[in-house]
Chain A
């Protein structure tokens, strides 16, 4: 890891940690000023995180999308970007940080544990499809994660109507926001599967191979497809829909951090 990358990344991690504590405190003590401070910390962490990612890009000469650490770095960046974007267009979504920041810390921590050695872009990754595939994957993950956060907020708001929770968006707005987030995630996920299939055909000579990562990607996409059908076609709403948003994330967690990666062609894309 380059010096400036390491420095800014650790500052970002510290800020995310404080932000996480702030969001949690705002929920526990029901004080909105904690939430405001936590959001400001998240935005500051994002700036430092961007610098760390930029330094990595400059030093390695390629977009940081290779292997676990770089994927964590760019992935969390996208997740936080989507959160900040959502907060801009929908100010009442600020408390979603209580779900976003711990996930950011977990993903970055997992990436750092695996190792952050500076490496050139491997031949298997030299494809234009890489950027489409990986960037949309993290957009989908970010949207699904925020939909899960939305579901959690719905369930909290439904239980407690006082303090900071009373300032959460109305239940029906939360419900529709979750639907829109899942719709966007589902679209981005479709791009991931389509681009992955085309790339796989060039790289491995087949577009689908039932590799664990491919299978879990399809499973999680189908889970969200089911989620949308249950909500739009069969009219699931309210608490059921909120629980659905929360539980649907399980497939995604398996996909990104599941058992499949250890023995998948996605780990060693080209053997020498």
Chain B
């Protein structure tokens, strides 16, 4: 009973229709999922707003939008069955090859097409012409042989590895499939936001993504220095980077990083994601407890809000890195901090209590408040990751592309020309064999025969 059931399951998994159906289901689900919003396509503010105002859509999106869909058990199960079907089909093809070892041009596997006609020249002349034509057409031509009265010349062309190309492609896909659970269960991803000069414990500084355990990070402290952000003509991004300082068990490491040039330590990769300004602002007075922080500005042009330690008060800070004033208009000439000013506002609810421009390095007294922009630092956001499946993805991609290239280039063909003496010349029969593309074969055979007759 169990054996029968196993056989039934195996036959289902080995069915191409089953694999195609699973693939169709996966494509359809992915297509539908892309029409739903998610945290990648919406800003955190929009996502929160949707959660509050459109709870039904939010629930649907946080279940079926692509990043969430791919974590649903039924989607994972469908992908797993596709993996099993691919594995079974590939193994079956390999088994069939081992068992049969059929020639690529055996009757069952090849297309054939033949044409015949008479030529005015002698068989030897036609044979010589055919050999020349074949060589000109880069056919791998054999020596003519005699079979009774007839002369036979055969030639082959094209890479005969289509079967192996297809097999390699599917094997590569299996390797990529293996990478998925490896990444899902053993990887780590998170973000590390660091202000220049601040030293933080690595495990506490990293904000792990959902499900990632920060305890897997090495113990120690981390900081950044020598941060740089260089623009061409003051507006085009040119060079961003710095040095990461890792102190693990008393062993200090200095690792220079930049965009596209991540650094690795202890099995974790640190990649630069964001770079911004961090002015140190000190606000005192009007009964406020001391407010003295480096403010990591994420929207320097539009301004960012920060809560003040006195109930209901908010601080608005915008940075004008290359400040200019033209009559009533103020702005920044470039993105580089050549003449940095801060636009500072103190809000109570929606009411502005204080509004002032402060040059970095100076302080102002206004309405009982003292606002000092002491210095301008920078902050960076580093992606901290460990990808266990990467090796499989690289290997898989390589095997997939090589397999597809071989499969694409494979178009093995064979031509056999049989020449028989006949009255007034000879009679010829040209037969072509091909593994793929029968119409192209027919075209090729007819074209070759036309050329031969007119030589």
Contact = CB atoms under 8 A, between A and B. Distances in A.
A binds B: yes
B439 A172 contact: yes
Interface residues of A, number: 56
Nearest to B229: A272
Interface in B159-207: 183, 189
Contacts of A233: 16, 20
A253 to B, nearest CB: 13
Contacts of A263: 40-42
Contacts of A195: 397
Given A205-B271, A206-B383, A210-B66, A198 B394 contact: yes
Contact of A270 (B31, B67, B259, B408): B259
Question: Which of B31, B272, B405, B440 neighbours the largest number of chain A CB atoms within 10 Å of its CB?
Answer: B31
Interface residues of B, number: 62
B440 A265 contact: no
Nearest to B172: A190
A270 B439 contact: no
B394 A212 contact: no
Interface stretch (A32-40, A74-82, A215-223): A215-223
Contacts of A204: 271, 273, 383
A271 interface: yes
Interface in A194-242: 194-195, 197-198, 201-212, 215-216, 218-219, 222-223, 225-226, 229-230, 233-234
A175 interface: yes
A190 B400 contact: yes
B385 interface: yes
Interface of B: 16-17, 19-20, 23-24, 26-27, 30-31, 33-34, 40-42, 66-67, 70, 183, 189, 229, 232, 236-240, 258-262, 269-276, 335, 383-385, 387, 389-390, 393-394, 397-398, 400-401, 404-405, 407-408, 437-440, 443
Closest 9 CB pairs of A and B: A194-B397, A205-B383, A205-B385, A123-B259, A172-B439, A187-B404, A263-B41, A205-B271, A210-B67
29 contacts: A120-B238, A122-B237, A173-B439, A176-B440, A183-B408, A187-B408, A194-B398, A197-B393, A198-B394, A202-B271, A203-B259, A204-B271, A204-B383, A205-B189, A205-B273, A205-B385, A207-B183, A209-B40, A210-B66, A210-B70, A226-B23, A226-B27, A229-B20, A234-B16, A260-B41, A264-B41, A270-B240, A270-B272, A272-B229
